[in-house]
Amino acid sequence: MRNALIFAGMWWWACGGTEGIEPCTVTDSGPNQYTLSCPDGTSVIIYNGNDGLDNRIVATIACTGFVPDMNIYAEYKVCLFASGDIWSSGTLYGTDFGLSSSSFYAVQQVGSQTAPVFINLDKAGNNNGGYWIMSLDRKTLVQYITYRDQDISNPESSIEWYMESSNCIVNNF
């Protein structure tokens, strides 16, 4: 807190903190962070002397297995960061192809709970935009794989598979 107050005082003084001008204020806004707010509506977050947040990888999860009836091997990986952010990647392999995609999700972003990855690969009927969605329930470690294509003859135009938690390896750091 002392570092933040010193910084705020120096900023206020250097930016024309003179009599008659309302000063900026510093408030405690969470663990090791403070908010400097000024009367003109501007504000900045100050991290207790550190260069931003600790954003190291705290865990990885890797899930692999075969997609039944499709002759496709699926691999899904997740890196969990100390900030709560998530990086996920998915790969599909066959005898004549290998495709990958990845996504990054901020902790508060829609989709961050399952961190889906989308892979464009049409495997049914005409080549008309079939695609795969790979995701993971991080509580149960069940991996979900969905294939969507208008050539699939069911109301949802999709096929879903589930891979059990025994197909996943978790590493905590």
pLDDT tens for each residue of 141-165: 999 999 998 888 887 788 899 989 9
Distance from C-alpha of 82 to C-alpha of 57, rounded to nearest angstrom? 6
> 0.95 exceeded by the pTM?
no
The mean pLDDT of 115-124, rounded to a whole number, is 92
Class of residue 168 by CB neighbours under 10 A (exposed 0-12, middle 13-18, buried 19+): buried
The mean pLDDT of 102-108, rounded to a whole number, is 93
pLDDT at 16: 53
Mean pLDDT of the chain: 84
C-alpha angle 115-62-124 in degrees, rounded to nearest 5: 65
Residue 136 in this model has a pLDDT that exceeds 90: yes
pLDDT at 152: 83
Distance from C-alpha of 26 to C-alpha of 29, rounded to nearest angstrom? 9
CB of 11 within 8 A of CB of 1? Answer: no
Q: Which residue has the tokens 């949802």?
A: 156
pLDDT band, residue 15 (cuts 50/70/90): low
pLDDT at 134: 96
pLDDT band, residue 168 (cuts 50/70/90): very high
Enumerate the β-bridge partners of residue 103. 88
